[in-house]
Amino acid sequence: MAVYGMLILGPSQHYWFNFLSRILPKRDALTTLKKIFMGQAIYGPLTTTIFFSYNAALQGETTGEIVARLKRDLLPTMGRNLVYWPICDFITFKFIPVHLQPLVNSSFAYVWTIYLTYKASLNLIVDVKVLFSLNKIRDLGILHHLTGTDSALALNVDNRAMVNQIGNILLGLNSVLYLLQK
């Protein structure tokens, strides 16, 4: 993720803040609101899309999986973006000199990146739960009956949302089977 910050986020912030100060040089309330709107409409969605795509690519996801992740996570993340970034942007645009705005924004971005990393890891956590459940059910001899294979890793499911749903169902089934064994 350091590469993302150094090669993508840092330079893009530099150019973004300089661009905004060139086209909207005033620091009054209306101009500040225009800058915030542009950040929410252009810069935020673009950098969030790049972050999720880059993170997914680092995890070895295919293009189709990355697109599915974006469909699943981008809009909810942008909704939370609307709560966090306008406040940060108001402080940055209204009170911070242009040459220091990328630095201040990077400080806010540090906190935001923690949230994005958490959001990006949610799918990985569910996949681990799915694998655990499949292996547990395999150990009980049920996986072969359901899928025709004894190997959870041999299952090739392209749709991650379906894998997550299967994982939740299997976790529930796993709990029921555990209770039945007692």
Low-confidence winner among 112-126, 133-147, 153-167 (lowest mean pLDDT) = 153-167
**Tokens representing 83?**
């709560």
Low-confidence winner among 1-5, 23-27, 36-40, 163-167 (lowest mean pLDDT) = 163-167
Q: How far is CA 165 from CA 49, 73, 84, 97, 180, in A?
A: 24, 16, 30, 49, 23
Reported pTM = 0.63
**What is residue 33's predicted lDDT score, i.e. its pLDDT?**
96
Is the per-residue pLDDT at 163 higher than 80?
Answer: no
Which tops the pLDDT comparison, 175 or 19? 19
Q: What is the pLDDT of residues 49-103, one digit of tens each?
A: 998 899 889 888 899 999 998 998 899 989 999 999 999 999 999 999 999 999 9
